[in-house]
Chain A
Amino acid sequence: MNRDAMLLVDALRNPATTRNLDAQGWTELLSMARAEQLLGTLAERFKIESVPPKVAEILAEARVNADYLRRSALWEADCARRVLAGFGGKVVLLKGTAYVAAGLKAGEGRSIGDLDILVARDDLPQVEAALLAAGWEWVKPDPYDDAYYRDHMHELPPLIHKLRDRMIDVHHTILPLTARRRPDARAMLADANCLPSRLREGPGEGQSNSRHISDPPLTAVASHRLRLPASGRGGLYTLSPPDMVCHSAAHLFADGELDGGLRNLWDIHCLLGQFSSAEFWVQLRSRASLHQLSEPVERAVRLAHQLYGTQIPKDWAGWHRQDKWYVARLTARDGWGRPTRKFIRLLFYIRSHWLRMPPLMLARHLWVKWRKG
């Protein structure tokens, strides 16, 4: 069977489409979901959908794993918070950790990897020093990579915590400095919102086996016995909703080869659904313009609507000629979870490097990488 990941897209958009799926179909769907880091999300979508017994076991297992990833991510963020508590500037959580910390739909069942934070560029030396003093260390000691990172990238070279073995990416803007588009990091930081309380799990674990299903959003957790840092002093922040969408779209289209694109697009679908209001869509248009991200944001909104059925205003809908290439790339996965459509992948790979750096730099970068084998 020559399936592509539209099988997964359909299942996420509308779980009822799986009602007639046979064992082979389920096997392929699950392999795709794993390959696209969307198994946890699938498990969330199918919470009240009836599925074959073996599939139910697999999805329950995925929820256990999602709980673990969420717990680790929040703890890591809290460790960073404590270390940076004395630091005067804002520490803004990005991506999966942010969604989970803020109790957003985009965080439900999300697979989360490293901790990503955004701070002002001027504050980098202070943040770097604080992290190094508290047990983080550099991952890549290579001086070329190090210089490259500091001069051209949007983040510090990667840091990893010695004991916990977890990585932190400290960003000062959301796209590489060498990219064509220049989002306004200062504006993002200025508009970032403080999370209301210290990061916690829901009510104690183990109170019921279905705790993860009935978990209240984090913002509703009562922290009655602890005195917590007030906003602005030792708290953590998240981007404003329009900026979150801009960041996600930038990451999806302007920074990468679209690996993990379906998951990234699902984040956008959830964000748009959660924050949709007349005011939001106006703000989104203006923020996207401010950050020079109009094209990626508009494409992200169109594709989320096309693939996941997101409700969007008429003036955001439409179909551009290039959209079909993106859909082809995003769904390039077979029933074994293998990447397919090699040629299209190659085109996007080249494009992603093209977007990240000017041609002369690209040549030099690839030359150095090649020389080092």
Chain B
Amino acid sequence: MGSSKILYRAEPADQRLVEPLDMMTLIYQRRSGITHMVGEPVPQMLAAMGDDAVDAAILAKRLAKTFDLGGAADAVAVLSERLEELAELGLVERITDA
């Protein structure tokens, strides 16, 4: 693998409708028409990403301001996984330095 870093950028907030219910949050994605049912920390991640290109480490720092994420290394690993999942779903875009 090369040294190119992968960053992630969320879709603009006006491209989705967010509806928190009891155990989960519903996210309607306008572009695809798909309704995603997500659990924590996904809604918080999307909110914290704003319009910026971030990686898991940056995101962990932002979220740590308002959430207890447990161990720092764990948090980054978990967020990495979630970011990849969100990229697969198209809620978030991968940006590579190339």
Count residues on chain A whose CB falls below 8 Å from chain B CBs: 15
User: In the complex, how many angstroms separate the beta carbon of B94 from the nearest chain A beta carbon?
Assistant: 8
Task: Flag if A71 contacts B15 (CB, 8 Å).
Answer: no
Report the tally of A-B residue pairs with Cβ distances under 8 A: 32
Task: Flag if B30 contacts A204 (CB, 8 Å).
Answer: yes
Interface residues of A in 39-95 (CB under 8 A from B): 68, 71-72, 74-75, 78-79, 82
**For B53, what are the chain A residues with a Cβ–Cβ distance below 8 Å?**
227
The answer to the question of B19 belonging to the interface, with a C-beta cut-off of 8 Å to chain A, is: no
The answer to the question of B31 belonging to the interface, with a C-beta cut-off of 8 Å to chain A, is: yes
Task: Flag if A79 contacts B31 (CB, 8 Å).
Answer: no
Task: Flag if A227 contacts B95 (CB, 8 Å).
Answer: yes
Task: Flag if A205 contacts B90 (CB, 8 Å).
Answer: no
User: In the complex, how many angstroms separate the beta carbon of B57 from the nearest chain A beta carbon?
Assistant: 20
The answer to the question of B40 belonging to the interface, with a C-beta cut-off of 8 Å to chain A, is: no
Closest B-chain residue to A67, C-beta based? B33
Task: Flag if A226 contacts B31 (CB, 8 Å).
Answer: no
Task: Flag if B95 contacts A201 (CB, 8 Å).
Answer: no
Range class of the B interface residue count = 10 to 19
Task: Flag if A71 contacts B93 (CB, 8 Å).
Answer: no
Closest B-chain residue to A75, C-beta based? B32
* Distance A226 CA – B14 CA, assembled complex (angstroms): 13
The answer to the question of A225 belonging to the interface, with a C-beta cut-off of 8 Å to chain B, is: yes
**For B85, what are the chain A residues with a Cβ–Cβ distance below 8 Å?**
none
The answer to the question of B81 belonging to the interface, with a C-beta cut-off of 8 Å to chain A, is: no
User: In the complex, how many angstroms separate the beta carbon of B3 from the nearest chain A beta carbon?
Assistant: 17
The answer to the question of B51 belonging to the interface, with a C-beta cut-off of 8 Å to chain A, is: yes
**For B51, what are the chain A residues with a Cβ–Cβ distance below 8 Å?**
225
Task: Flag if A204 contacts B93 (CB, 8 Å).
Answer: no
Task: Flag if B33 contacts A71 (CB, 8 Å).
Answer: yes
The answer to the question of A200 belonging to the interface, with a C-beta cut-off of 8 Å to chain B, is: yes
* Distance A204 CA – B15 CA, assembled complex (angstroms): 6
What are 18 pairs between A and B in contact, CB < 8 Å? A71-B32, A71-B33, A72-B32, A72-B33, A75-B31, A75-B33, A75-B34, A78-B31, A79-B90, A82-B90, A201-B30, A204-B14, A204-B15, A204-B30, A225-B12, A225-B51, A226-B12, A227-B9
Interface residues in chain B, defined as those with a beta carbon under 8 Å from any beta carbon in chain A = 9, 11-12, 14-15, 30-34, 51, 53, 90, 93, 95
Interface residues in chain A, defined as those with a beta carbon under 8 Å from any beta carbon in chain B = 68, 71-72, 74-75, 78-79, 82, 200-201, 204-205, 225-227
